[in-house]
Structure 1
Amino acid sequence: MRLRPTGLTRGAVTSLKDRLHGFTGRAPSVGAWLPSFKGRLHDPRTATAVGRWLGVAIAVCFLTGVISHFLQKPPDWLQPLLPPRPVWGYRLTQGLHVASGTAAIPLLMAKLWTVYPRLFVWPPTRSLRHALERLSVAVLVAAAVFQLFSGLLNTFQWYPWPFSFVPVHFAVAWVLVGALLLHIAVKVPEIKAHWTRRSPGTLELPAEDGPDRRSFLAGVAAAVGAVTVVTVGQSITPLKRFDLLAPRHPDHGPQGLPVNRTAAAAGLAAGVSAGQWRLSVAGPRPYELGLDQLRAMPQHTVTLPIACVEGWSKSAEWTGVRIQDLLDRAGAPPGALLRVVSLEKRGAYRIMEMGRGYARDPLTLLALRLNGEILSLDHGFPARVIAPNRPGVLQTKWVTRLEVL
């Protein structure tokens, strides 16, 4: 007499075998040369659990990245509307952008680990719909890997590729989000089936090949926490003592502030002569000022953060002349925009435009001093712009000309 396990009909046993076949990656008609994968690390509920975390990280990274892009390269219609407050706005959003992107790297690796047995399913395509699904997954994985690792290299200011980073990174971000939304739409039934521990239809696989799901997820969470803690201190200064792996430390640099672009990189290694330097202000009543004349004007001191696209930021004390005072002296109308020109010989941000919200804000200065000291050459001597809620690349150094638009 043959015994059958209680509660399992022949159809149920067949269904279980079919479902196991979907994750082992071995087709009965194909030889034993294909690899066989077992264990909870490769089941759909583990993939769904990691996918939730990864989805949140990518969503935060994408939204803050869009904010960063439009603050850094605003279209003409948006330029006059950009708000200078809160003063810490860009510091927060860009810090979140880099932190969430960094945290997403171990999450992406964990997600790929849970699903990579599917790469060995045979035959590789079973229908046109299945082929399109696999193509969308290929685009999703390629875009995610490119975005996260190119963004990581950008934080180190290392660009081992021939294309311009900013426009390509921004364009691929939309490809990534589109592929992700398509993937979620295709996988909705499976995601719903494995969203919670007690979801109906959840298939438990044996844990013969490694730690169970809970240990695996705890390890992933620990990895995410570790990489975040040892890098986020470059932006969240209370955690700066744990800043072990970030490319910048907020206290390291001349005058206690990091420098991304040095005077040598800007073609000003020979320095700037204080006696010969002149500030030209072009407007209805154009004029020029020497450094001594600029220092003789009413000086104002503000505390503002400088936040760079690479993710580091720090507040500092800046002293100088209000931009609005310089504009008023030139007869600029209240709604005028401002163009700022630097002495630097080369660079994508040698010329910067500023909307009226920034130009007329009382916290926006043509700074002459940093933390009570005359600006160092690397920090923009003899004069630089400092404004609230602006990317660091737009805080123009070595200013020589202001133009009322």
Structure 2
Amino acid sequence: MRKLPAPPAPPTPEDFTSPVHDRTVVARMGALLGVAFTICFLTGILSHLHQYPISWLPIPTGPAWGYRVTQGLHVASGTASVPLLLAKLYAAYPRLFTRPVVGSPVQMLERASIAVLVGSSLMMVSTGIANVAGWYVFGFGFTKVHWAFAWVAIGALAVHIAVKLPAIRDALTPAGVARSKSNGRRGFILGALAVATGAVVLTVGSTIPALDKVSVLRSRRPRNSPLGVPVNRTAAQARISPDLDPATGDDSWQLSVRGTTGERVVTAAELRALPQRTVSLPIACVEGWSADATWQGVRLRDVLDLVGGVGGDVAVRSAEASGTYRESLLPRAYADHPSTLLALRLNGSRLTRDHGFPVRLIAPNRPGVLQTKWVTDLEVRS
């Protein structure tokens, strides 16, 4: 019987001869990725605290454009991390063929941290990009899962840095720096950085208007949207009653307000009779897009004065039949802010159904998902 040839031996790290597979390249790509991850993580924490506030850690009401900047940085750093992560994996993957598979405790800790870091990073990056694109194909609550995996990723990153600290230190010595600049390694690092920068430029126009024309992959175009502000969730998607429609001219809608001195119903005519204010506030979405807008309406604190004033945080409820953001909690500092309005008009026009007719909330330095549309109910929680 003819003897079958022996299977080829598995590759070893030495079989990969490209100069890019070098520890100094891996360390420098890791440093760039670490910066992107840290920015993304810190800005993500801030966004999460906006949506799930902690009483002892209040979020400031200013600057008015604060969330626009932090969430823009969040999405930009997350976008940049995609090519940086791929470049680092390419530079480091020969290390996966190191034998023995089960080595020292330090080696096992290194491999475990890599597995957890890569897995959680891919999970966050893929779902984050899908969220920015409005492609909600995952069957779970995005914000809470993203929040949980963020802590897993940053924990794995901290462990990985601790384990690889000697290699990182060597890569940052003069000899390591010189090595990273030789044999095409510098070009690889600069190329990865250029791709990451290009990815950001192609998408960040939704946040930075000056880059709107070159950001062909941006998620939203405010200037081409109804009333100059994009719509993420339409009235039809929110299952808003057809009766709430400015086209019908029906002013029978009412606003229920409960406060420290009781409860009352405010009619459309009464709301319009209160002093009308105009504020210029950007609206910024967790997806990274933002738009400048001029809002006209009644200060929230003026409405709450009808039932005893701003005595605490305010629950703001919508006419939505269901949904995660059917109700939002407005911290007291925001409720009392002079720029926080129950808006009736947007950019000089009456609100449309999709923009929240008959009345919507607008407040400074706050995520767009918490700027509740189709407001029907206010409740002061002391």
Q: Shared fold (TM-score greater than 0.5)?
A: yes
> Aligned partner of 2:207: which letter?
S
Gaps of 5+ in 1: 1-29
2:158 — aligned with what?
181
> Aligned partner of 1:89: which letter?
G
2:367 — aligned with what?
391
Q: Which has the larger radius of gyration?
A: 1
> Aligned partner of 2:330: which letter?
M
Moved more, 68-77 or 104-113: 68-77
The CA deviation at 1:238 is: 1.7
1:303 — aligned with what?
280
Q: In the alignment, is the contact (CA less than 8 A) between 1:39 and 1:205 conserved in 2?
A: no
1:71 — aligned with what?
50
> Aligned partner of 1:237: which letter?
P
Q: Deviations over 1:205-244 (max 9, x none)?
A: 995xxxx112212211220111111111101112111221
1:223 — aligned with what?
195
Moved more, 391-400 or 263-272: 263-272
> Aligned partner of 2:272: which letter?
R
Q: Distance in 1 between matches of 2:182 and 2:332?
A: 64
**Are residue 244 (structure 1) and residue 216 (structure 2) matched?**
yes
Q: Secondary structure at the match of 2:122?
A: helix
**Are residue 151 (structure 1) and residue 128 (structure 2) matched?**
yes
C-alpha distance 287-206 of structure 1, shift in aligned 2 (>3 A): closer
Matches within 5 A, 1:93-104: 93-104=70-81
Q: Deviations over 1:125-169 (max 9, x none)?
A: 223332232112111111111111211111122233322111111
The CA deviation at 1:76 is: 4.2
Q: Distance in 1 between matches of 2:241 and 2:301?
A: 31
Moved more, 122-131 or 107-116: 122-131
Gaps of 5+ in 2: 1-6
Q: In the alignment, is the contact (CA less than 8 A) between 1:240 and 1:250 conserved in 2?
A: no
Q: Distance in 2 between matches of 1:144 and 1:189?
A: 24
Percent pairwise identity: 49
Compute the RMSD of aligned alpha carbons: 2.0
Q: Deviations over 1:273-308 (max 9, x none)?
A: 532211111121432222222122210000001011
2:328 aligns with one of 336, 349, 352? 352
The CA deviation at 1:195 is: 1.5
Q: In the alignment, is the contact (CA less than 8 A) between 1:340 and 1:353 conserved in 2?
A: yes
C-alpha distance 366-42 of structure 1, shift in aligned 2 (>3 A): same
TM-score, normalised with respect to structure 1:
0.86
Q: Secondary structure at the match of 2:280?
A: strand
Q: Secondary structure at the match of 2:354?
A: helix
1:361 — aligned with what?
337
Q: Distance in 2 between matches of 1:309 and 1:335?
A: 29
> Aligned partner of 2:328: which letter?
M
Q: In the alignment, is the contact (CA less than 8 A) between 1:243 and 1:249 conserved in 2?
A: no
> Aligned partner of 2:50: which letter?
L
1:190 aligns with one of 167, 175, 178? 167
The CA deviation at 1:196 is: 4.4
> Aligned partner of 1:242: which letter?
V
1:163 — aligned with what?
140
> Aligned partner of 2:21: which letter?
H
Q: Distance in 2 between matches of 1:189 and 1:220?
A: 24
**Are residue 265 (structure 1) and residue 237 (structure 2) matched?**
yes
Q: Distance in 1 between matches of 2:348 and 2:256?
A: 25
Q: Distance in 2 between matches of 1:398 and 1:295?
A: 16
Q: In the alignment, is the contact (CA less than 8 A) between 1:285 and 1:329 conserved in 2?
A: no
The CA deviation at 1:193 is: 0.7
1:377 aligns with one of 331, 336, 353? 353
Q: Distance in 2 between matches of 1:113 and 1:269?
A: 53
Q: Deviations over 1:99-123 (max 9, x none)?
A: 0000111000000000011112222
2:186 — aligned with what?
214
Q: Distance in 2 between matches of 1:343 and 1:203?
A: 63
1:134 — aligned with what?
111
C-alpha distance 72-205 of structure 1, shift in aligned 2 (>3 A): closer
Matches within 5 A, 1:307-346: 307-332=284-309, 334-346=310-322
Matches within 5 A, 1:78-117: 78=57, 81-117=58-94
> Aligned partner of 1:355: which letter?
P
2:22 — aligned with what?
43
Moved more, 315-324 or 233-242: 233-242
1:289 — aligned with what?
266
How many residues are aligned here? 368
Q: Secondary structure at the match of 1:400?
A: strand
Instruction: Report runs of 4+ in structure 1 exceeding 6 Å deviation.
Output: 202-206
